[in-house]
Structure 1
Amino acid sequence: MTDQSTSSFDFIDLFAGIGGLRLGLESIGGECVFSSEWDKHSQKTYEAWYGERPAGDINLIEPSSVPNHHILAAGFPCQPFSLAGVSKKNSLGRAHGFDDVKQGNLFFALSDVIEAKKPAVLLLENVKNLVSHDRGKTWRVISARLDELGYEVHARIIDAAGWVPQHRERIFIIGFRREVFTPAFPEGVPFEFPVSDGRPHALRSILDEEVDSKYTLSDLLWRYLQNYADKHRAKGNGFGFGLPNLDGVTRTLSARYHKDGSEILISQGLGRNPRRLTPVEAGRLMGFPMDRLEIVVSDTQAYRQFGNAVVPKVAEAVARQIEIVLQQARLLGLDWKVRMGEELELAAG
């Protein structure tokens, strides 16, 4: 381990995407010592923003080669457990969840790293549907594996609308290694998930006043979206485009936003078709500090990256709650970094 001060710690960023979890942990003094992300376009963005190119496919990384770290962060893949992903795979007659060898079993690659490196704290993120997928079996397997690895697990679905003008429900899974923290908290770690301050977040706050006309929907696409919505409305379905109140919040930004932008369209007044968000606006909607981050990929890839990302402000709020536990442990006389180092030495024999 590196710095042993109270405020700093080392972490790794697995399934890193464009670093939403990283930004959250860096905000409380963390230093990233290793990152992994297989998508080449996301690697390009990550390198431009953080100065390092992530390692690739986690399946090709030997767990023992990963640097020692205090906190493991991972936004492990959403698609096998998402409502859209499950629906698509069912329609194609394909397996999903842990039966999907290509994607679902990546959780077990993650657990191999956890088993090898024994981090003191886990910070994991996934889609809301993770807890209900396969009638709860997927979540039972995940939570049982983390318990088996020695972690006290805390999980909650958090809506990012408390921090950004977007409804975005995701499950955050926090694990505290028992052998590290039990001496300070014999009755369980007093971790509490964050609660937003209740301040309203308005969509208009992230919008630019002047936007290139290329983001305005064509007459053909706008007519198609209206007809599609009318057809489903007649059937009693709620499918259709979204034109949110500019003083309110939007639907969830998805990775497919680049296709037609239908879930979040911005009204431009009478006589003009609505428009998509620009990539920079999409980044702001996700809470990324776009005043200092440059988009270095195509619009299509930028939309995909933001649609798959973790909201940094939520990651920061969760990280600050973890920090409270670490501070409490210190006050109770537990040097959790030393304790973790001792456990690693014992594991090494």
Structure 2
Amino acid sequence: MLTSALKTNKSTFTFLEFFAGSGLVTYALKNHFKAVWANDIDEKKATIYTANHGNKYFQLGDISNIQGNDLPEVDLAWASFPCQDLSLAGLSAGINGQRSGMVWEWLRVLDEMSDKPSLLVAENVEGLISSNKGDHYRVLHEALRIRGYKVGAIMLDAARWVPQSRPRIFVIALKREIMIPDELVSEEPTWLHTKAIAKVGVTLEDWVWWNMPVPPSRKSSLSDIIEWEAPCDHNQISERNISLINDRHLDKFLTGEVVVAPGYKRTRNGKQVLELRFDGIAGCLRTPGGGSSRQYLVINHNGKVQTRLLTVRETARLMGAPETYKLPGTYNDGYKAMGDAVSAPVAKYLAKHLLVKLAIVASNYALEGAYNNVRGTLKPII
């Protein structure tokens, strides 16, 4: 019977990773999808990617020079396209900006493939949905829809898995003709949909309310990932940083109520301050473009309050990378690679509970189509 040939092995699927960065998506998806091609333009991130995954299939260079007809047929194409023009910290040029506009190169490459993947994922910051009243997302949604996909966006915050606040939008597209199992969709917004997503979704054609089970509560806290023996700032620098903390927050350390808290330097009412959070999670990692983008730790260690920057290994832990994940290069190289990456536990959860199930359905649909085509060409024996 045909059903005996249907694909059920969850480790046999393949994918292309565009804007691959340091390779955390490849790491996260490895139990379900095998990367057969990956690309990034950043040489320093490429060094980290190849140190962990090898350079057999990695292609360093500008996506503008990639030709879709040179790429292998795969089940999934993943693109964590640049976020700078969609980020609240950026210039808000939007999805047609010079950097975030690279998403159109991704679609151009897919158009050039002889057989587009049945399943697509595009990942970016919340501004993709929330900025410009959702119009940036609407443009991307329509671009995917006219290419024959039904599409939905979800928000996953890394804080559900690791002690870092990192909300990200995942746009998931499946070829329109493929039926989606009931368990993977809802008739209305779920825990995966913010108010901004819900507001945009109800206005769009070929929209899908994706659904997955709610993950268990996170057990780890920021204090669990700290390298306690890492050197702190010299006394003069620590004292300067501590002077930027308001008295009420500083008292939490002096009384022993708090032993570690993360924070960013900001300017408030013309005055520089070090703003801390006390919920046991780090703020969203950023790339180290300047002093305000560097996340500090304030630590009460052995009765002394000191400050320092996050270590590179701590940033990797906050992204869910294993201790064995190699981070060659300078401090800034490693910090940038992690600050630009996709949280590994988030991608792993998405792959396990949604993407691989969609890939199975898509694969079976293709096999059924091939079977019916062959059966239609057979002549009856008389």
**Class of the TM-score when normalised by the shorter of the 2 chains:** 0.7 to 0.9
CA distance in 1, matches of 2:117, 2:286: 31
Q: Who is 2:223 aligned against? A: 204
CA distance in 1, matches of 2:19, 2:335: 18
CA contact (8 A) 1:123 1:175 kept: yes
Gapped runs of 5+ residues in structure 1?
88-95, 343-349
CA contact (8 A) 2:159 2:281 kept: yes
CA distance in 1, matches of 2:104, 2:131: 17
- Counterparts in 2 of 1:231 and 1:313: CA distance versus 1, 3 Å: closer
- Counterparts in 2 of 1:183 and 1:162: CA distance versus 1, 3 Å: closer
Tell me, yes or no, if structure 1 residue 310 matches structure 2 residue 342.
yes
How far apart are residue 224 of structure 1 and its match? 7.4
CA contact (8 A) 2:267 2:273 kept: no
CA contact (8 A) 2:265 2:292 kept: no
| Cα RMSD, aligned residues only | 3.4
* Higher percent of residues as helix: 1
**SS of structure 2 residue aligned to 1:254:** coil
Query: % of aligned pairs identical?
Result: 29
Q: Who is 2:120 aligned against? A: 122
CA distance in 2, matches of 1:294, 1:70: 28
CA contact (8 A) 2:21 2:49 kept: yes
CA contact (8 A) 1:164 1:286 kept: yes
How far apart are residue 267 of structure 1 and its match? 1.3
How far apart are residue 297 of structure 1 and its match? 1.2
Deviations 1:102-156 (A, max 9, x none): 3232111111223334101112210011112233221110001111111111211
CA distance in 2, matches of 1:81, 1:32: 27
CA distance in 2, matches of 1:285, 1:216: 27
CA contact (8 A) 1:161 1:201 kept: no
Tell me, yes or no, if structure 1 residue 72 matches structure 2 residue 101.
no
How far apart are residue 193 of structure 1 and its match? 3.6
**SS of structure 1 residue aligned to 2:50:** helix
How far apart are residue 272 of structure 1 and its match? 3.7
Q: Who is 1:297 aligned against? A: 329
CA contact (8 A) 2:233 2:306 kept: no
TM-score by length of 2: 0.74
Matches within 5 A, 1:178-257: 178-179=176-177, 181-182=178-179, 191-213=210-232, 218-219=237-238, 222=241, 225-226=244-245, 232=268, 240-245=273-278, 248-256=280-288
CA contact (8 A) 1:215 1:276 kept: no
2:86 to 62, 75, 81: 81
How far apart are residue 169 of structure 1 and its match? 0.6
How far apart are residue 6 of structure 1 and its match? 2.6
Q: Who is 1:113 aligned against? A: 109
* Higher percent of residues as strand: 2
CA distance in 2, matches of 1:241, 1:306: 22
Q: Who is 1:92 aligned against? A: none
2:100 to 97, 104, 125: 104
Aligned length: 321
CA distance in 2, matches of 1:204, 1:157: 26
